[in-house]
């Protein structure tokens, strides 16, 4: 299995003093429901919890649904720590900005996919580069805004090399703009061409975007290992899959190349009449298409892990989704069909669990296999990667307009990864935030804030605010809202096991976050 190439053990290069490499892999529009096979027992436990002997939800049988076949990433995750309570931001570009800066959406100014990241921000890549790392990003950027890209570009963020797409989506997976920033271009400019033809072991030459992205990543890492074997590297690989394409409406989906699919996915696509390597989907339904696209990612990730394991096993690998699985409300592309049994507008782009709960696994030297239910956010990866690289995390960083500094929001996951700690935040006072503005819903503003047990979620549309209160331990799918207290008075200052006190504390913190 490909994942075995990166088993958690000290390597010779580590013993000689070379800093570890870091490989970050971001899956687009892949929520925890799509990747539930990473979490053995998760679905069965939810079915039992919501079934007739538990909460007796009438739709409990739908929880099982149909996750994607992801044997490579499943096996990789079992070599390290998988996080069961990991959040991203509800949209892709805000997630990327939080990871890059260590700041929540209010501080980055990126609450939806139309915003852009200011060049005033300090980035993770800047710190790594200053500490002697070679840095590169391949694939989707989506932090510079749409079309004209006024915001921060990869070279401005501290990356030595960028090959991919600055936009959030590509026209289709074989014919798309391929953009490059390297030492020959000014940091604010790029070269744009058609995609190159690339291949991987067992995969024929193609312009298919996932193959090109992985081949580009492997080529760069191989070049680094040959030219600078003692220099550590940081590679950020961001797939566009399983995102829909921007140029193929009303059918913005596709059938992946056959040689990037396992037999399970090939059989499913063939049975519904899909033509491999095309946008001719036959009678294939959205859930099946989503599974195939996610399986295609898994296959090419396996090729990457094989290559990296042979070149330098002194490498930490982080795999995550960028937001929840989408439910666009259009016929044929309602992707959610498992785990989250409520369909009323809850998915990617919302502050419900189905919009923010993601798969997350971290593997590498010194990390023992296990799982953690620590309350975790993608913003924590900023501090975590600093720790993995042996770099001090800044306590404060420049704000978005350059007029001052703000506190870093992320907390390092190192105590969980290396010291087997149960949490990184106080179970009551510690909290994480997910915030979004939904352009397709009259710019409705949603913000969710949770501690170890409780969550408050507020929605504001045209000045009318409604809030919900959940116990995520007893009701992780948010099917049974609790009744909040009629008033808070002094309860916000008192945090205990009392639900009312938790509601008032979280609501108070939520209001403070909204004002940032």
Q: Which residues pair with 397 in a beta bridge?
A: 406
pLDDT surpassing 90 at residue 128: yes
**Contacts (Cβ under 8 Å, ≥6 apart) of 497:** none
Q: What is the pLDDT of residue 341?
A: 78
Mean pLDDT of the chain: 91
Q: What is the pLDDT of residue 8?
A: 40
Residue-wise pLDDT for 242-294, tens only, equals 988 876 666 678 999 999 999 999 999 999 999 999 989 999 888 888 899 99
Q: Residues 471-481: what's their mean pLDDT? A: 96
Determine the Cα–Cα distance for residues 277 and 22; give it in Å rounded to an integer.
Answer: 32
Q: Residues 41-61: what's their mean pLDDT? A: 95
Q: What is the pLDDT of residue 9?
A: 41
Determine the Cα–Cα distance for residues 26 and 322; give it in Å rounded to an integer.
Answer: 6
- For 508, other C-beta atoms within 10 Å of its C-beta total 15
Of 412 and 169, more confident = 412
Determine the Cα–Cα distance for residues 226 and 194; give it in Å rounded to an integer.
Answer: 28
Q: What is the pTM of this model?
A: 0.95
Burial 343-355 (b: 16+ CB within 10 A, else e): eebbbbbbbbbbb
Q: What is the pLDDT of residue 342?
A: 65
Which domains occur in the chain, in start order? Answer: 2-420 (3.40.720.10), 427-516 (3.30.1120)
Are residues 189 and 172 in contact, defined by beta-carbon separation less than 8 angstroms? no
12-26, 138-152, 257-271, 372-386: least confident range: 12-26
Q: What is the pLDDT of residue 492?
A: 59
Burial 190-223 (b: 16+ CB within 10 A, else e): beeeebeebebeebeebbbbbbbbbbbbbebbee
Burial 12-34 (b: 16+ CB within 10 A, else e): ebbeeebbbbbbbbbbbbbbbbb
Pick from 202, 278, 285, 282: which is nearest to 245 by CA? Answer: 278
pLDDT surpassing 80 at residue 113: yes
Pick from 239, 227, 296, 228: which is nearest to 262 by CA? Answer: 296
Chain centroid to Cα 243, Å, comes to 12
pLDDT surpassing 60 at residue 392: yes
From residue 347, alpha-carbon distances to 90, 367, 507 in Å are 8, 32, 22
Q: Where are the alpha helices (DSSP H) in 235-285?
A: 263-271
ω into 51 cis (within 30 of 0): no
Q: Residues 339-367: what's their mean pLDDT? A: 89
Of 146 and 179, more confident = 179
Are residues 235 and 217 in contact, defined by beta-carbon separation less than 8 angstroms? yes
Residue-wise pLDDT for 58-81, tens only, equals 989 889 888 999 999 999 999 999
3-state secondary structure 22-53: EEEEEECCCCCCCCHHHCCCHHHHHHHHHCCC
Q: What is the pLDDT of residue 16?
A: 53
pLDDT surpassing 90 at residue 132: yes
pLDDT surpassing 50 at residue 11: no
Backbone angles phi, psi at 95, to 5 degrees: -60, -45
């Amino acid at each position: 299995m490909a994942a075995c190439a990166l088993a958690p053990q000290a390597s010779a290069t580590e013993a000689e003093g070379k800093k570890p490499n870091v490989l970050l892999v971001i899956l687009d529009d892949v929520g925890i429901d799509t990747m539930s096979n990473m979490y053995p027992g998760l679905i069965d436990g939810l079915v039992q919890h919501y079934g007739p002997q538990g909460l007796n939800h009438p739709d409990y049988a739908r929880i099982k649904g149909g996750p994607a076949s992801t044997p490579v990433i499943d096996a990789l995750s079992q070599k390290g720590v998988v996080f069961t309570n990991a959040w991203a931001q509800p949209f892709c570009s805000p997630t990327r900005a939080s990871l890059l800066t260590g700041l929540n959406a209010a501080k980055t100014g990126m609450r939806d996919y139309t915003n852009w990241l200011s060049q005033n921000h300090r980035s993770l890549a800047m710190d790594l580069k200053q500490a002697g790392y070679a840095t590169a990003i391949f694939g989707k950027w989506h932090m510079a805004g749409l079309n004209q890209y006024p915001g921060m570009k990869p070279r401005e963020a501290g990356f030595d090399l960028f090959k991919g797409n600055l936009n959030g989506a590509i026209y289709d997976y074989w014919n798309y703009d391929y953009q490059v920033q390297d030492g020959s271009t000014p940091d604010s400019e790029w070269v744009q061409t058609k995609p190159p033809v690339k291949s991987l072991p067992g995969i024929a030459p193609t312009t298919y975007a996932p193959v090109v992205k992985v081949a580009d990543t492997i080529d760069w890492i191989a070049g680094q290992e040959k030219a600078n074997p003692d220099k550590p590297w940081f590679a950020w690989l961001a797939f566009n899959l399983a995102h829909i394409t921007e140029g193929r409406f009303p059918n913005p989906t596709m059938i992946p190349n056959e040689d990037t699919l396992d037999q399970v996915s090939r059989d499913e696509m063939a049975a519904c009449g899909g033509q491999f390597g095309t946008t001719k989907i036959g009678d294939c339904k959205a859930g099946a298409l989503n599974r195939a696209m996610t399986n295609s990612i898994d296959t090419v990730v396996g090729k990457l892990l094989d290559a990296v394991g042979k070149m330098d096993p002194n490498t930490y690998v982080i795999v995550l989704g960028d937001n929840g699985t989408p439910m666009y409300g259009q016929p044929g592309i309602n992707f959610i069909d498992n785990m989250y049994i409520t369909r009323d507008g809850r998915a990617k782009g919302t502050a419900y669990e189905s919009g923010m709960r993601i798969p997350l696994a971290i593997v590498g030297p010194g990390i023992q296999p296990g799982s953690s239910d620590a309350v975790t956010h993608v913003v924590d990866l900023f501090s975590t990667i600093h720790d993995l690289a042996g770099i001090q995390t800044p306590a404060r960083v420049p704000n978005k307009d350059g007029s001052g500094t703000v506190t870093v929001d992320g907390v390092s996951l190192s105590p969980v990864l290396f010291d087997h700690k149960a949490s990184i935040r106080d179970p009551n006072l510690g909290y994480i935030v997910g915030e979004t503005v939904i352009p397709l819903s009259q710019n409705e503003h949603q913000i969710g804030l949770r501690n170890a047990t409780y969550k408050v979620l507020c929605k504001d549309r045209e000045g009318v605010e409604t809030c919900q209160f959940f116990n995520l331990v007893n009701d992780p799918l948010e099917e049974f809202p609790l009744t909040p207290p009629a008033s808070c008075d002094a309860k916000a200052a008192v945090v205990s096991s009392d639900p009312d006190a938790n509601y008032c504390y979280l609501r108070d913190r939520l209001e403070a976050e909204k004002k940032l």
